Amino acid sequence: MSIPLTKKDFVSDQEVRWCPGCGDYAILSQVQKLFPEFGIKKENFLVVSGIGCSSRFPYYMNTYGFHSIHGRAPALAAGAKITNPNLSVWVITGDGDAMAIGGNHFIHLLRRNFDINILMFNNRIYGLTKGQYSPTSEPGKKTKSSPMGSLDYPFNPPSLALGAGATFVARSLDREQKHLHGVLQKAYEHKGTSYVEIYQNCNIFNNGAFSDLTERETKMETQLQLDHGQPMIFGKDKNKGLRLNGSQFEIIDIGSQFSKDDILVHNKKDKNLALLLSDLTYQPEFPKPLGVFYEELKPTYEELLINQIDNAKVNMPTANFDELIRSSHTWEIK
């Protein structure tokens, strides 16, 4: 038996170069802490990224890593996973990387259901290029490239992922270390593509984008913890909850009129519910769902591929190259 790995084993010798106070540090630390818990050998991790502040991540992980080009990490990850299905593959991406330039690869990776984990650091801004609005920035956002306010309507990331056929959709926060740890653990355990949106503070170009959700004074009112089989209760006094009125959520107070039993119980296997929950992302009067929105089990791409190859090996003629190239009409010149 080899000595169990620790967090230290996953820290590379490269100096971390994010701005002091950047939310990326906390996520890095959580991932470095988590990896040794899986019992996987260090050489079997592959961390892949695109371009962006967030995408510097692989350099800081002492695993195999690939810092690729803007938006294209999902495709690179797919190729590596096909070549070596034993690898535990992690795609690190940003809101620009995954939803703007890489939108196409992002949705196609989800629909194919490789057993790959995507961690999208959503800071609702382009960090690396110094602060332009991103596909997740709020309408009207004033940035260097939108001095009069952005005209774009944003993507709603979990809805996009669900629409693309994702089999695991979750959300967490850089500041909630324990929560993040738990969500990443579940993402790892899910066999299939796991998509985790991580709200991440860019303290330089979009400071406080999620402060409602992270500040002690407000967070109990603004966070909605999703736990499979548990009622959707929130609030400082745990006295509020969600229930469905037709196909719309409404907030009810537990007390005289309603009891805990009136509150909707989360079911991560219900895709319609997951879609309704993700719709709360931009509704100011509702708390924001965190945790696992949705999980579905179906065969992964690489399982299906391995199956096809195995079948071909059994059902096709023996793989003899010389025979193959002689298998059409041949003639002899004497």
Ligand X SMILES: Cc1ncc(C[n+]2csc(CCOP(=O)(O)OP(=O)(O)O)c2C)c(N)n1
Residues that bind Mg ion (CB under 5 A): 94-95, 123
Q: Nearest-CB residue to Mg ion?
A: 94
Distances (CA, A) of 160 to 118, 163, 169, 246, 293: 14, 5, 10, 23, 13
Strands 233-234 and 45-49: unpaired
Q: Which is nearer to ligand SF4, 18 or 90 (CB)?
A: 18
| Residue from the set 49, 123, 137, 143 that interacts with ligand SF4 by CB under 6 A | 123
Which string of x and - marks every residue 68-97 that binds ligand X (by CB under 6 A)? --x-----------------------xxxx
In whole angstroms, how close is the CB of 205 to ligand SF4 at the nearest point?
5
Report the b/e string of 230-257 with b at 16+ CB within 10 A.
Answer: ebbbbbeeeebbbeeeeeebeebebeee
Q: Which is nearer to ligand SF4, 125 or 164 (CB)?
A: 125
Rounded distance between C-alpha atoms, residue 288 and residue 278, angstroms: 8
Query: For 266, left (φ over 0), alpha (ψ -120 to 50), or beta?
Result: beta
Q: Which is nearer to ligand X, 45 or 57 (CB)?
A: 57
DSSP string, 142-168: -BTTBTT---PPPP-HHHHHHHTT-SE
Q: Which of these segments, 41-49, 129-137, 232-240, 288-296, binds other proteins (CB under 8 A)?
A: 41-49
The answer to whether 148 contacts other proteins (rule: CB under 8 A) is no
Partner touching 129 among Mg ion, ligand X, ligand SF4, none, CB below 5 to 8 Å by kind: ligand X
Rounded distance between C-alpha atoms, residue 159 and residue 266, angstroms: 17
Cβ-contact 137, 154 below 8 angstroms? yes
Using CB under 6 A, which residues numbered 123 to 182 contact ligand X? 123, 125-129, 134
Which residues would be at the binding site for ligand SF4 (CB under 6 A)?
A: 18-19, 22, 24, 53, 123, 127, 202-205
Give the footprint of ligand X on this chain (CB under 6 A). Answer: 51-54, 70, 94-97, 121, 123, 125-129, 134
